Structure 1
Amino acid sequence: MEKNIASKVDNKLDQMDSKEKEAILENFTEFKSFLADKVAKAEKLGLDEEQLAKAAQKIGDYLANKEEPQNREEKLLQELWKAGNKEEQHKLAHMLVKLVS
């Protein structure tokens, strides 16, 4: 199940075109709305908080490594993400899920 979630997250991120990503990352409110929508959908599918955090961690890894921050909030998140180890990143992922829930 865990690998299936990670695979779905990877597939979704790979399928997004650059304009769609740009629209989401344009401002922090849009980013939070996007994440809130995905968390709500995942909860409806029965994912628990740990599974949600793992999916958020996958998104965090992607954003930190492949996307340029579009605003100060995203830059701060990227810096925190890169400064943390895997355990700290996982905790930050939990916090992001709580932020948008």
Structure 2
Amino acid sequence: AEAFVKQGLGLFYYKKENSTLEEDFFVRTQNNLIPVEVKSNSDQSKSLSSLIKNENYSDISYGIKLGDFNVGNANNIYTFPYFCAFKMKEYLKKIN
């Protein structure tokens, strides 16, 4: 989160009582609301996948997962190793 803030990206948080939805934070771009998960393992991101597929959230079309893994993209989830977080603003400009 600190790397995102240092790039000038505003971070947003969401918590709803009695909900299993769990996202670490969200980033807003001009066209999208992007859920971001920071994972300590390579487990599936059920909440992230659920948000992307949910038609009620038309401004969420992809998500970002940071963790101990390589750069990749599957099912509209972009994965990055932790150390790439400092380049996220630049990357978001390219894909928007």
User: Which category of TM-score, normalised to the shorter sequence, fits these structures?
Assistant: 0.3 to 0.5
Q: Give the TM-score normalised by the residue count of structure 2.
A: 0.35
Greater strand share, 1 or 2?
A: 2
Q: Give the TM-score normalised by the residue count of structure 1.
A: 0.34
Structure of greater relative contact order (alpha carbons < 8 Å, 6+ residues apart): 1
